[in-house]
Chain A
Amino acid sequence: MRNKLFLIIGLLILSPPLLAAVNIQHWTTPNGARVYFVAAPELPIVDLQIIFDAGAARDKNKAGTALLTNALLAEGAGDLNADQISERFDELGAQFSNEAQRDMANLTLRSLSDEKVLTPALETLALVLTKPAFPNDAFERERKRMLIGIEQRKQSPDALADEAFYKAVFKTHPYAVMPSGYENTVNTLTLNDLKAFYQRYYVASNAVIAIVGDLDRGKAERIASNLVAQLPKGDPAEKLPDVANLTREEIIKLEHPSAQTHIILGQPGIQRDDPDYFTLYVGNHILGGSGLVARLSNEIREKRGLAYSTYSYFLPMRKSGPFQIGLQTRTDQAEEALTVVRETLKIFIEKGPTDEELIASKKNITGGFPLRISSNKKILGYIGMIGFYGLPLDYLDTFNDKIQTVTAAGIQDAFKRRVDPGKMITVLVGKQ
C-alpha cells in the first residue's frame, strides 16, 4: 500500500495538472478608473469590488477617518436613507459590504446576473459610491460604535498585542495607526473630516474596479463606466513614505489578566512589488507559513505542546508590511516558548531550509495552485490585488514558475538580508 501511494505521487510530479488559466482583461474607464475583469459564465452571478487607495494609511493624525468614511457611505445617499438603501439591496437578494484596512478601502457587491436584479443593484451601488449624504445622526452613532470597538480591543490580549506591535514596528509611519482609531482621535473627528477625506480619495483615478462573473466584455465595460461616471477624475493618492528599518531591539510587556501570554515578534517586512517576494514567501512557508507542517509549528506545537496556534508571515503591503511571528501559551511557559521561537528563527536564518523542506514547500504551493482560483470569490480577490498593487496581468499565469525558481541558497540569502533577529520587536501581553 505504501509503495503504491508513493507511486502515485511520483506520477504526479511527472505530469503536473493542467492549470485553468485566468484570463484577466484590463482597461481604464474614461475618467481614469482601472478595471480588471474575468468572465465566468458558469454561474449566474456577478461579483464586483471597487477598491480605493483610501485606507487608514491616509488617516494622518486623525486615526479612524478612513474606516468611518467608508462605513458611512451606505448610511444615506442621494434621496435614500440607510433603511431604504439596505432594503434596495436586500429585496434584490444582492449582498453589499464595505471595509477599510490600512492600504485599501472597498465596496463589494454580489448579485445575480439577471438584468432585472443586476441593473438596480448596480444603480444603488453607484448612488452609495458617488452620492453619499454623510448624515449627522449616522456619523454620531457610528462614531460611538467605534468607541465601543476600541473598548473591545482592551479586553482581548490578542488585539492589545497587535496594537502595541504595529506601533513599535512602524513608529511614525502611517502603518502604525490602528484603522479603528483611538478614543482621543475618534472623539475629535468631524463630519467635515470625513467629507474632505471622501472628496480627496474616492475619485476615479484612485480607484480599481474588479469584476468576475456572468458578463461579456462589452457589458462589463458599461457597468464599470456607469459605476464611476459620477465620480470626479481626481488624483491618485500621494505616495506613502518608505518604512524605516528598526535601529534596535525592543521588548514590550503589557499587563493583562489572561491565562495565556500572547507573543508577537517581528519587524518591517516587504512591499507587495518587492523583488524578494517569492523567495521570502517560499522561505516563510517553510518557517511558519504552512500550518502544522511548518518548522515553528513542529518545534512549538508538535514537539513540545506549547501552543495551539503558532505562525509566521510576511504581510506585503504598498510599503513594507510587517514580518511577524506569533503564538499564545500559558504564562508560566512564555519564556520557554519565546526561546524556542528565537532559536528556530536564528537557525533558519543561519542555515536556510533543507532541500527536502524546499521541495516539500514548492510541491505544496505549486500543487495547490488550482485551489487558489477555484471560485469566483477567490479570483475577485486576486484581480483586485493585482490591480491595486499594479502587479503584472500574468501574475497568476507565472506564479508557479516564479515559485519553482526559488532556491535554498536564495532563501538563506534573502532572510539574512531582510530579517535581523538582533533588531526584533517583541510584544508580550499577559500577567507580567
Chain B
Amino acid sequence: MTRSQFWKTATWIALYSAILAGCATGSAQQPAGNSTGTSATQDKSPAAVATGTEETGKTANPRVHEFRLDNGLKILVKQDSRAPVVVSQVWYKAGSSYEQNGTTGVAHVLEHMMFKGTDKYGPNEFSRIISENGGSENAFTGQDYTAYFQQLEKSRLPIAMELEADRMANLNLSAEEFGKEIQVVMEERRMRTDDNPKAKTYELFLATAYTNSPYHHPIIGWMNDLKNMTVEDAQKWYNDWYAPNNATLVVAGDVDPGQVLALAKEHYGRIPPAKVPKLKPQQEVVQNGVRRIVVKEPAQLPYLLMGYKVPVIKTAELEWEPYALEMLAHVLDGSDSSRFTRDLIRGKAMAASIGAGYDLFSRMDELFLFDSTPAQGFTVADLEKEIRAQIERLKTELVTEKELERIKNQVVASKIYEQDSIFYQAMQMGTLETVGLDWRLTDEFVDRFRTVTAEQVQQVAQKYLIDERLTVAVLDPQPINPKSIASNHGGAPHAQ
C-alpha cells in the first residue's frame, strides 16, 4: 500500500498502538514497527569504559554500548556520528496493559502530567527549556510502555538528562494542573476515537477479542474512567512505576559512550531504586469460537476488522513461529507486489483499502489483524470472504520461493534504510528492552527472518488463522447528517 495516497492502511497499526502527549510538533512516530534496528558497518570501539559497569554482550555490536547503574537504570548508547545531533529517550515499563479496570488511561494521563512541573521547575518549563535549546521533544504511551524523548544538537544532551532525571523522581502532581490536563486528555480522546468511526470500531473490536488480557482496553482509556480519574490515581501510578530500576535510557547520535555514562551517573545515579509492583500474568483465556460485533456509527463507509489470536516472540513456545507469521504478513501486505494489493486492490478491484499486520514485539499474545474498506459495489461480507480465501490459499498452497526471496530482499534493504534515522533505531532498542526482549534482537531479527521457509508459513496459517481464534468487527454506517450530505463539493456552505 505504499503507493496509495488516498489510503494509508499500512500505517493503521502504528496509528493505534501509541499516542503522543504533544500535538503540533509531534509527527506520528512509528512505534514498534515490523522490522528492527541495524547491523551497522562495524568499527572497533573500545569495549568498555573505565568508569562504567558495561555489560558485555553476547553478540558484539561495537556501536551499541550497554550499561547498568547501581540503582538499576539500564542504559543503551548507540553511536552514530553522521550528524551533530542526539536523541535521548527514557522508556518505562508501564503502559496501558499494566492498568487496572476503573483507572484505564492512567498511564497516558501520567504521561501528560510529566510536563507539568517538578519541585524545581514549574509547569511546562521542561518544554520551554528544551525548546530554547533548539530541541524537539514529546512522549508516547503504548500498551507496553511509556516513553519520553528529546532530540537536540549534540552538546545539549546534559540539559535533557538533567530535566528527564529530575522528573523521574521529583514530579509535582497538583490537583489544579491535573484538573486542566484531564480535560485535554478527554479532548484528545474525542478527537482520536469518539469522532473517528474507524477508531471507535477498532476500540470495540479489541474489547471484544480480548476477554481478560489487559490489551482489552484502549490506551487512552474509557471516557468514564477518564471522567472519574483523580490526581491520586496519577500519583499512585507515578509512585508505582517511575523508578530507575523500571526504566531504560536510550541515547543515540554523535556521542561518546563514556561521557553519556558519566552524565547518566551524575543525573540519574542519585535516584534511589524503588520496589516495583509485580505484574500478574493475565494470560488470555482460550477463545473457543468466532466472535462478531456490529458497530453502528455516523459514517459514510463500511469498514471490516478481523483478528486472530497469535503468539509473539516474547510468548512463543516455538521460536520460529512469530517470524513465520511476520513473513505471512509480508506475503499478504506491505508493498505493491504483495497479494492483497495485487489481487484485491488491482485484480478483482474489490477493496478500496486492505491491510494485514502483526506486532511481534509485544509483551503479550497479540492479534494478527486484517482491515479493509470495500470498493464501490462490494460489501464487508464480500471482503471477509476474500480475506478468508487468501488465508485458505496460504494453508493449502506453499508460498512461492520467488515471493519469499522478494520479501527477504525488501527486509534486508529496509534494515539499511533504517540507518538514516537515529530516532527509529533508538525506538527499536527501547521497545525491545521494555517488553523484556534483548535489544540485540534489532540485529538478529533479519537473520532469523531470512530462515523462514514456505512450509513454516503454511504451518502457522494452519495453526493460528482459524475460526476458534477469530474476532470480526464491522462498522455499519449510519446517516451522518441528512441535511448537509445531499450535495458534495462543499455544497455552498451557508455564510452568516
Contacts and interface: CB of A to CB of B under 8 A. Distances in A.
Interface of A: 1-2, 4-5, 8-9, 12, 17-18, 20, 42-45, 67, 71, 74, 82-83, 85-87, 89-100, 110-112, 117, 137-138, 141, 144-152, 154-157, 163-164, 167-168, 180, 182-184, 250-260, 288-294, 297-298, 301-311, 328-330, 360, 363-371, 373-377
Given A251-B496, A255-B484, A259-B194, 19 more contacts: A45-B420, A71-B3, A86-B3, A95-B413, A95-B417, A145-B4, A145-B7, A149-B352, A154-B300, A155-B480, A293-B128, A310-B24, A367-B132, A367-B133, A368-B153, A371-B85, A371-B151, A371-B152, A374-B422
14 contacts: A86-B337, A93-B410, A145-B375, A164-B493, A183-B489, A252-B494, A308-B184, A309-B188, A309-B191, A330-B186, A363-B134, A364-B133, A371-B85, A371-B134
B337 A154 contact: no
Nearest to A101: B5
A304 B182 CA distance: 11
A137 to B, nearest CB: 8
Given A95-B2, A164-B493, A373 B83 contact: yes
A157 B195 contact: yes
B453 interface: no
Contacts of B115: 292
A360 B490 contact: no
A309 B24 contact: yes
Contacts of A291: 22-26, 127, 131, 136
Contact of B410 (A90, A294, A302): A90
Contact of A302 (B4, B7, B180): B180
B346 A83 contact: yes
A250 B494 CA distance: 10
B56 interface: no
B301 interface: yes
Interface in B79-115: 82-85, 115
B123 interface: yes
Contact of B346 (A82, A99, A260): A82
A280 B129 CA distance: 23
B24 A89 contact: no
Interface stretch (B43-51, B154-162, B242-250, B434-442): B154-162
Contacts of B416: 43-45, 112
Chain B contact surface mostly? mixed
Contacts of A376: 420
B340 to A, nearest CB: 12
B184 A292 contact: no
B496 A288 contact: no
A194 to B, nearest CB: 16
Given A71-B5, A291-B127, A83 B414 contact: no
Contacts of A364: 131-135
B489 A148 contact: no
Contacts of B195: 157, 258-260
A182 B489 contact: yes
B474 to A, nearest CB: 15
A375 B421 contact: yes
A139 B345 CA distance: 13
A164 to B, nearest CB: 5
Interface in B396-419: 405-406, 409-410, 412-414, 416-417, 419
B183 interface: yes
A250 B493 CA distance: 11
Interface in B1-18: 2-7
A12 B196 contact: no
Contacts of A297: 23-24
B52 to A, nearest CB: 23
Contacts of B495: 250-252
B336 interface: yes
B376 A148 contact: yes
B153 A371 contact: yes
B24 A311 contact: yes
B376 A370 contact: no
A8 B159 contact: yes
B83 A12 contact: no
Contacts of B274: none
Nearest to A148: B352
A114 to B, nearest CB: 10
- Pick the most buried of A298, A301, A303, A328: most chain B CB atoms within 10 A of its CB: A301
B409 A93 contact: yes
A93 to B, nearest CB: 3
Contacts of A117: 413
B181 interface: yes
A406 B416 CA distance: 41
A88 B298 CA distance: 42
Given A184-B489, A330-B187, A293 B420 contact: no
